[in-house]
Structure 1
């Protein structure tokens, strides 16, 4: 199963970089993320895109510890429901304890462990599920820093790391990490990726604590499904583009691909990933357009129907109608079989 990251993380990174002179459209193009996704709410994007985002961004600004810088600026809300559960908790410790159980709402590509050390300090360990060493190094720099940046936003006091261990080799420049993470105890070439916090800091109150809202959010978290995958979001985008294309009079594959700013093969591949085809989506869009026109009380002849639906003529629409009837018959037949088996 392909692992993913919540799109709001990409949106946060892109917004931070665009505020520092990096062209957002260029960055999205380099990463391979469609521009429309930036305004498409919460969806899940393949893990490779998040790794690629850090690779391109770090190279563009010539900064090997860019994930640490941006992680320390983490804005609550970018992590979705997980962030709201954290911010409504009474203390840093109780807030951080919610991150592990609900991390899949942020990403399905990591496991987060929480270990209490012998002296009471709390260590969070990170493991990546899908990705090579480079992917692990970049995303764990981000993970360590964002786990620190999250409490700093709402803690009623200072909050720094006690110890940071990283498997990767030391970057060519990393001394800024001392100030960013609040500790000089940073070990490179370690056997694990982890960040340790002082036991006393776990009792620091959060200024946003709200026990009533937290209780409600916990109930919501138990029932809310994860954000949809990018593949299903593509189907919605194609439907919208097809509706516009039919009105404009050109609903060809190339025309719709241009509207979505992708190649025709990319569009077909995305639809296949979502379990559908170009022909199915085109037929669905045509049926929907015909329903809307008919609902207005219009009595359309075959020629006018063909024109509205983008067919060459009445003969083409008759062939499509037979195809639709065949699909409908199969669906009814399948439903009857299922009912008989129940």
Structure 2
């Protein structure tokens, strides 16, 4: 009896496991494709000027801020999607265009195995907060869902469409033939003319307003041996994908650099606006404006810094509340206790009792 017919399994790997240092960053590979597609569709290059991370986009071994690719999505979603959308981006892709990650599809034993390892190594191209969830269906097929923390982003519909189509392109590339999915689920409302999406995915079963974006493959496609399967090379590339993330150098965006300067300035006591502005080679007024542009403020950033330091000192030291208040810049212990109640809803003793986080 083929026991695979009689069970349903779900495979999910959080890319954030072991990748805490890469939080808030992505590989530059996909951003390169988006920029090229936007320019090919007529995006004015001057609109890309000043976007953090783009100046080093062609360097190897780096990670750029996730905010960078989201900004690029905002810029290209208009021109690129008016002239072909996901297809326009992926037709620029060639094997290796997403780094080692897309080669994982070529050398795995089956498409099911390919999606498992691609899920496990998703951080090789994406933010650690992104996930692929592969669910085996009762009939032996498999559904690949993409989970990303971007639901409130204005371009989430095009991001979700692209992520789903990219899975289809990767699967077809690995199989060496165009695969027709069983169905496709997209989270947004159906456009007035959904036919172009049916043509894009090669199926009439494109359903809308279904929660997370996903694509379902037939059992025959999931279990068929891939033509270039190479178990030894698959193991090597799997490990290389892991090491490429561990060895990558994050390229800081402006807000990241601000946080770094703020953290270093606090070693000499509560940091002042003038002091931090000078370290960033700008005036205090310019610093406040830049923070507003980032959706924050000096007061909010200083409050967040104080909260992090208080939390660490309470959990990891035996310093008194009076000493912590003096170190972090509160006028006295009562002011610190009021702040802790505002942040957590309870006093410092409860935090200290909970131990290191």
Same fold (TM over 0.5): yes
What's 1:198 paired with?
218
What's 1:111 paired with?
131
What's 2:249 paired with?
228
Residues 87 and 226 of structure 1: is their aligned pair in 2 closer, same or farther, counting only changes over 3 Å? farther
Separation in 2, partners of 1:230, 1:163: 39
Separation in 2, partners of 1:150, 1:186: 19
Matches within 5 A, 1:225-304: 225=246, 227-231=248-252, 271-274=257-260
- Deviation per CA, 1:265-302: give whole Å up to 9, x if none: x5xx55334557898899xxxxxxxxxxxxxxxxxxxx
| Normalised TM-score (structure 2) | 0.59
**1:34 CA displacement:** 4.5
- Deviation per CA, 1:231-260: give whole Å up to 9, x if none: 1xx7xxxxxxxxxxxxxxxxxxxxxxxxxx
Separation in 2, partners of 1:14, 1:209: 32
1:185 aligns with 2:185: no
CA RMSD of aligned residues (A): 3.1
Separation in 1, partners of 2:204, 2:88: 16
Contact 1:122 1:196 in 2 (8 A): yes
- Deviation per CA, 1:110-147: give whole Å up to 9, x if none: 12111111111100112212551534323221110111
Separation in 2, partners of 1:281, 1:207: 54
1:81 aligns with 2:67: no
Residues 68 and 20 of structure 1: is their aligned pair in 2 closer, same or farther, counting only changes over 3 Å? closer
**1:100 CA displacement:** 0.8
**1:176 CA displacement:** 1.5
Contact 2:61 2:247 in 1 (8 A): no
Separation in 1, partners of 2:152, 2:173: 32
Flag structure 1 segments of 5+ consecutive residues without an equivalent: 235-265, 283-342
1:159 counterpart (176, 179, 201): 179
Residues 272 and 132 of structure 1: is their aligned pair in 2 closer, same or farther, counting only changes over 3 Å? same
What's 1:288 paired with?
none
Residues 72 and 186 of structure 1: is their aligned pair in 2 closer, same or farther, counting only changes over 3 Å? farther
1:11 aligns with 2:32: yes
| Normalised TM-score (structure 1) | 0.62
Residues 65 and 18 of structure 1: is their aligned pair in 2 closer, same or farther, counting only changes over 3 Å? closer
Residues 21 and 222 of structure 1: is their aligned pair in 2 closer, same or farther, counting only changes over 3 Å? closer
Separation in 1, partners of 2:279, 2:153: 40
**1:200 CA displacement:** 0.5
Deviates more, 1:62-71 or 1:169-178: 62-71
Contact 1:91 1:204 in 2 (8 A): yes
Flag structure 2 segments of 5+ consecutive residues without an equivalent: 1-19, 265-275, 282-357
1:93 aligns with 2:79: no
Structure whose alpha-carbon radius of gyration is higher = 1
Separation in 2, partners of 1:147, 1:96: 9
What's 2:64 paired with?
45
Separation in 1, partners of 2:214, 2:73: 20
Matches within 5 A, 1:123-134: 123-130=143-150, 132-134=152-154
Contact 1:271 1:278 in 2 (8 A): no
What's 2:351 paired with?
none
Separation in 2, partners of 1:35, 1:192: 29
